[in-house]
Structure 1
Amino acid sequence: MALILKYFVAGLVRYWLIHTDYWQTISNRVEIATPLNSWKRLIEGIYLYDHGIDPYEGDSFHESPIVLVFFHFMLKKVPYLLPLIFTLMDILTAHILYKTSKAFVLILEESQEKIKQNIAKESKTMLLNKSQLNEAPDYVLSVYLFNPYSVLNCVGMTSTVIQNLLVSVSLWGAASGQRLLACTFIALATHQALYPILLVVPISILLANVNKGCNKCSYNRTLLIFVLCWSFLIYISAYIMNGSYSYFYNTYGFILTVPDLKPNIGLFWYFFTEMFEHFRLLFVCAFQINALALYVVPLTLRFHKEPVLLATVLIALSTIFRSYPCVGDVGFYLAFLPLWKHLFTFMQQKFIVGCAFIITSVLGPTVWHLWIYSGSANANFFFGVTLSFATAQIFLITDLLFAYIKREFTLKHGSSRQIDGKPAKLVLR
């Protein structure tokens, strides 16, 4: 009953806000809408498509052809249901995250059982009990349903709502051992936004662990199915566009080359605004390597035994360093943090990070108003806030990873420290 009430209240809040006078303001906010996910741009693309004009010829539409056809059908048949559809998709995302976190909890419990014999005697009390494990999914659900970032993302009717749904289904499929489901939906998410391709690695590991087969064979099957699904989606998109692959430049090309420098909560726009043009290619490559490839191998080597943590961290890093991020991406990965609440005691920067999130979330709209409307600030002020927001997220992820390593060490070696056979103590001088 409590779960149904949560769904109802969260859905009611979203649906009500979409029908208020503030909806237009929310849907146009730079923190919520980007050139990739904006509802306004989607409507423009549908209008062009409906009048027989290729929406990818201009520079306003950057969604995939599949999303274009889906919303074209919706606007033609049931336009009055669109607010309800967005609300239901977001509530469905929350429900799938709840089911996913339940599956993740079973994986965490199983991994804990494997290392029990290697745990120090004095660290036995640190092991997670049933009640601690069972309450984590409820926290995940609540954080996603009532997180202002997630709520505003849904109210703004951005296509990030769809991306979050696709990623959540793929993670649930992986945690449940359903390879085809996981690969299909991560291919759909990749086809829409490209950066979810990073999740192929933790999904492959999860499927191998859950299905308990030959790891190498499992990885190969997962990769093969993903490539086939993604190739099929590319072919279908070309078929929708009458056999033309010209949409590539205004979808994947747009994400990778970052031609639109409209301010957002990311790091790309300011650097490329200030940069000399002849250095642009170098820095585009450097930024995209940082977002797409740099962290996958080292993190996988270190955390391959914890694919759930690896997936959480990769989602967060892709959110921070992608070319056009929004608060909907941030709200999505924040929902996974309650799974790791047993690490919070080992985290040292919780208060600082929490304050930074609150302050930057308030300062962002304030500084934007001062810059754009009052003319009493400039781009440096707004970028300072977005840089602080990104820094807070980086601190959060690094603190989470170090907390995991600290807990892992403490479980194995105990919490007591001795020097020359005597208890160690810290003396401030």
Structure 2
Amino acid sequence: MAVILKYIIAGLVRFWLIHTDYWQTISNRVEIATPLNSWKRLIEGVYLYDNSINPYEGDSFHESPILLIFFHFILKQAPYIMPMFFTIVDLLTAYFLYKTSKEFVGLLEKNQEKNKDDIANESKSMLLQGSQLSEVPEYVLSVFLFNPYTILNCVGMTTTVIQNLFLSVSLWSAVTGYQLISCGCIAFATHQALYPITLIVPISILLADANKGCNKCSYIRTLLVFVLCWGFLIYISAYIMDGSYDYVYNTYGFILNVPDLKPNIGLFWYFFTEMFEHFRLLFVCAFQINALVLYVVPLTLRFRNEPMLLATVLITLSAIFRSYPCIGDVGFYLALLPMWKPLFSYLMFAYLKREFTLKHGTARLVDGKPAKLVLR
């Protein structure tokens, strides 16, 4: 009953704020709306498309053609449902994050019991109890529903709301072993914003664990399904645009080249406004490598046995280093942090410290004598 009450309150807050006089101000804030997710730009793209003008010929619309045609249909048929639509999508995201955390807690409890013999006797007290585990999904749900970042992201009616839904569904379906749903959702999120492509690595591991198939064939099959889904979305988008792939330059190209340097909460705009144009290509490549590929391999090698932690870290890094971030991206990864509540007392490198202490105990001995750390 308490969970249902949270949904009702959170939904009413979002729905009410969308209908206040502050909506216009909120939807135009640079912290909330970016050139990629702005409702204002989406409306402009729909208007151009409705008047038989290619919205990708200008420099104002950068969303996926699939979302373009979807919102074109909704706005033509029933524009009055938009506030309710965004509210429901945000509540669905909260629901799937809640379900994901419940599944994760169950897996965590099983793994903890399975590895109990490898834990030092003096560290047994660090094992998570039933009450500690059961409250984690409640925290995840509350943090997403009542975080001002996610509320404002929904009230601003940004398309990041839709991206977050697909990310949450992909995590839930990966934990529960639904390969096609997970790959399809992560493919759509990638088609929309590109950076979620990094999540195919933890998604592959989660699916392999859920389906008891931790082998190369399982990973390759997941990667193949993802590529096919993404390719299908690209083909459908081209079909919508009368067989033309020109939209790619104003979607993926816009994300990678970062031509719009209006202020936002990210790093790109400030750095490139201060830099000589002669070095732009070099630093664009360096920044995008940092955002897309630099952390994937080392983090995967270290946290391959904890794919949910790997996914959380990659989502966090993506929110920080993507070219056009918004507070909706931040709000999403903040909602995942309560799953790691047992690690909070070990910040930083929290996971590594707790893992070491579980195996070796809390005592620190050198040559049989108590050791201490002295800073000089």
| Class of the TM-score when normalised by the shorter of the 2 chains | over 0.9
- 1:376 paired residue number: none
Match for 2:345: what amino acid? T
- 2:45 paired residue number: 45
Q: Match of 2:351, SS?
A: helix
Distance 2:322 2:372 in 1: 44
8 Å CA contact retained: 2:205, 2:214: no
Any runs of at least 4 consecutive aligned residues in structure 1 with deviations exceeding 6 A, and if so which? none
Distance 1:86 1:98 in 2: 18
Q: Which deviations, in whole Å up to 9, do the C-alpha atoms of 1:330-356 show, x marking residues without a partner?
A: 000000111000001112xxxxxxxxx
Q: Which deviations, in whole Å up to 9, do the C-alpha atoms of 1:37-68 show, x marking residues without a partner?
A: 00000000000000000000000000000000
Distance 1:281 1:109 in 2: 48
Pairing 1:23-422 to 2, within 5 Å after superposition: 23-347=23-347, 399=348, 402-422=349-369
Q: Match of 1:265, SS?
A: coil
Match for 1:59: what amino acid? D
- 1:377 paired residue number: none
Q: Which deviations, in whole Å up to 9, do the C-alpha atoms of 1:267-297 show, x marking residues without a partner?
A: 0001111111110100000000000000000
C-alpha displacement of 1:105: 1.1
- 1:427 to 1:293, Cα distance in 2 relative to 1, 3 A: closer
- 1:390 paired residue number: none
- 1:117 to 1:34, Cα distance in 2 relative to 1, 3 A: same
Q: Which deviations, in whole Å up to 9, do the C-alpha atoms of 1:63-83 show, x marking residues without a partner?
A: 000000111111011101100
Match for 2:20: what amino acid? T
RMSD after superposition: 1.1
Q: Which deviations, in whole Å up to 9, do the C-alpha atoms of 1:158-182 show, x marking residues without a partner?
A: 0000000000001111000000000
C-alpha displacement of 1:104: 1.1
- 1:403 to 1:240, Cα distance in 2 relative to 1, 3 A: same
Q: Match of 1:336, SS?
A: helix
Match for 2:150: what amino acid? S
Distance 1:424 1:303 in 2: 29
- Corresponding pairs, count: 376
Mean CA deviation greater in 32-41 or 104-113? 104-113
Distance 1:428 1:318 in 2: 34
**Normalised TM-score (structure 2):** 0.98
Match for 1:44: what amino acid? E
Distance 1:425 1:214 in 2: 41
- 2:6 paired residue number: 6
Q: Match of 1:58, SS?
A: coil
Match for 1:414: what amino acid? G
C-alpha displacement of 1:426: 5.8
Distance 2:110 2:220 in 1: 24
Q: Match of 1:229, SS?
A: helix
C-alpha displacement of 1:124: 0.4
C-alpha displacement of 1:106: 1.7
Distance 1:419 1:260 in 2: 57
C-alpha displacement of 1:419: 3.3
Distance 2:223 2:256 in 1: 22
**Normalised TM-score (structure 1):** 0.86
- 1:352 paired residue number: none
Distance 2:91 2:253 in 1: 32
Distance 2:295 2:177 in 1: 25
Distance 1:425 1:289 in 2: 40
Percent pairwise identity: 78
Distance 2:235 2:205 in 1: 28
Mean CA deviation greater in 268-277 or 62-71? 268-277
Q: Match of 2:228, SS?
A: helix
Q: Which runs of 5+ in 1 are unaligned?
A: 348-398
Q: Match of 1:334, SS?
A: helix
**Greater relative contact order (CA < 8 Å, ≥ 6 in sequence):** 2
Distance 2:344 2:245 in 1: 48
- 1:389 paired residue number: none
Distance 2:35 2:373 in 1: 53
Distance 1:322 1:289 in 2: 10
